[in-house]
Amino acid sequence: MKLSLDWIYYAISWILLTWHSAWDAIGVPVGAVLGTNFAWILSIIFLVVTVRVILFPVFVKQIKSQRAMQALQPKVKELQEKHKGDRETLQKEMMELYKKEKANPLMGCLPMFLQIPVFLGLFHVLKRLDPFKGEDKKTIYGWSVDQFNSASHAKLFTAPLSGKFGSTADELARLGANGSAVKIIAGVLVLVMISTTYLTSRQMILKTGWAEDPQQRMIQRLMLYGIPASLLISGAIFPIGVIIYWVTNNLFTLGQQQWVLRKFPPPVTAKKAVAPAATRSPVQLAKSGGLFGRGKSAPPAPVKATAPKVAGPKPGAKPTNNPKKSRPAKRQG
């Protein structure tokens, strides 16, 4: 049985067309200004806003789940020490712990997984924006012929929204696009997409710390390094409109995470409570035993007062008489 994704394509198209009609009604220029059709660019940006507002409750659950996982780290570490070398028993005990404490280690990836259908839907919708398609294909997913023609000619700094870094010469000719302009705009956007994807994961890990659980740590490394690295290759096949969506989504995530982490800061663990030696004052270092001391430093030993030493006569020098002890000279008769 073939799974139909038409409902996703219809939903994405409806949101895009609704926002485009709204910008048109407000008075945003439909034609190109500075080689850019801002009405369609804003429609993609506010597609992100719409999706993120819908998924905000899921994002809050993600943060709560991450806090719950962080609070369980001491117990997870105890299980790792207890079942060292017995991976099967360790996994079983950890699953029981998560179930008992109602923590889900996969919740941290749920918002990203829920956005995959939106990404695929937008990818499909923008990919089919070919001005040479027949009118029967232009009107699917709720589009009118005028809307399809307008979107197929929409550009960002003269680069079509359906153009890609890896577009062939034939595809560029059908879109009436300049190959150099498309590669430059798409290339810059791909680099921004990779950077912001890395920063979103790094921001969360710096605030919450690396997980003790090997499975969680592996997921964190995949999010931090694996996904940005994969975008270096896959970004060449993404339409420019899809990359705009991805970058906007990353910027939205950075702002949302910053707001949530400020409003609900992560709990301070025992390790975080002690400041590193490099950031502590000399008084704190003295109380704690200094940079290399252990425990409290012992009080300094009292210094005994000693009498000042009197320098003796130099070797070979004639002894000098003490005038007080010298005898009076004899008189000669």
Q: Is the pLDDT of residue 239 over 90?
A: yes
User: Out of 16-25, 198-207, 270-279, which region has the weakest mean confidence (pLDDT)?
Assistant: 270-279
Query: In this structure, is residue 229 part of a structural domain?
Result: yes
pTM for the whole thing?
0.72
In a domain, 222, yes or no: yes
Does 281 score more than 50 pLDDT?
no
User: Taking a C-beta distance cutoff of 8 angstroms, is the pair 72, 103 a contact?
Assistant: yes
Least confident of 5-9, 49-53, 110-114, 164-168: 110-114
Q: Which two tokens stand for residue 286?
A: 């003295």
Give residue 315's pLDDT.
54
Residue 281, in any domain of the structure: no
Q: Tell me whether residue 48 is in a domain.
A: yes
φ, ψ at 267 (rounded to 5°): -65, 145
Percent of the chain exceeding pLDDT 70 equals: 76
Q: What is the pLDDT of residue 33?
A: 83
Residue range 21-26: mean pLDDT, rounded: 93
Pick the more confident residue, 7 or 74: 7
- The phi and psi torsions of 155 (rounded to 5 degrees) equal -135, 160
- Distances from the Cα of 1 to the Cα of 9, 120, 317, 331, angstroms: 19, 20, 118, 145
* 203 within a domain of the structure (yes/no): yes
For residue 286, what pLDDT band results from cuts at 50, 70 and 90? very low
- Does position 327 have pLDDT exceeding 80, yes or no? no
pLDDT tens for residues 190-222?
Answer: 999 999 999 998 988 887 778 766 777 888 888
- Whether residue 1 lies inside any domain: the answer is no
- Residue-range definition of the domain harbouring residue 256: 6-263
Q: Where are the beta strands (DSSP E) in 75-233?
A: 155-156, 159-160
Look at 60-69, 123-132, 189-198, 290-299 and tell me which has the smallest mean pLDDT.
Answer: 290-299
* Ramachandran class of 27: left when φ > 0, alpha when ψ lies in -120 to 50, beta otherwise: left
Mean pLDDT of the chain: 80
Q: How many domains does the chain have?
A: 1
Whole-angstrom distance, CA of residue 318 vs CA of residue 47: 106
Q: Is residue 315 part of a domain?
A: no
Per-residue pLDDT band at 74 (split at 50, 70, 90): confident
The Cα–Cα gap between 41 and 208 comes to: 34
Contacting residues for 46 by C-beta, under 8 A, at least 6 apart: 19
Residue 94 inside a domain? The answer is yes
Whether 142 and 14 have beta carbons less than 8 Å apart is answered as yes
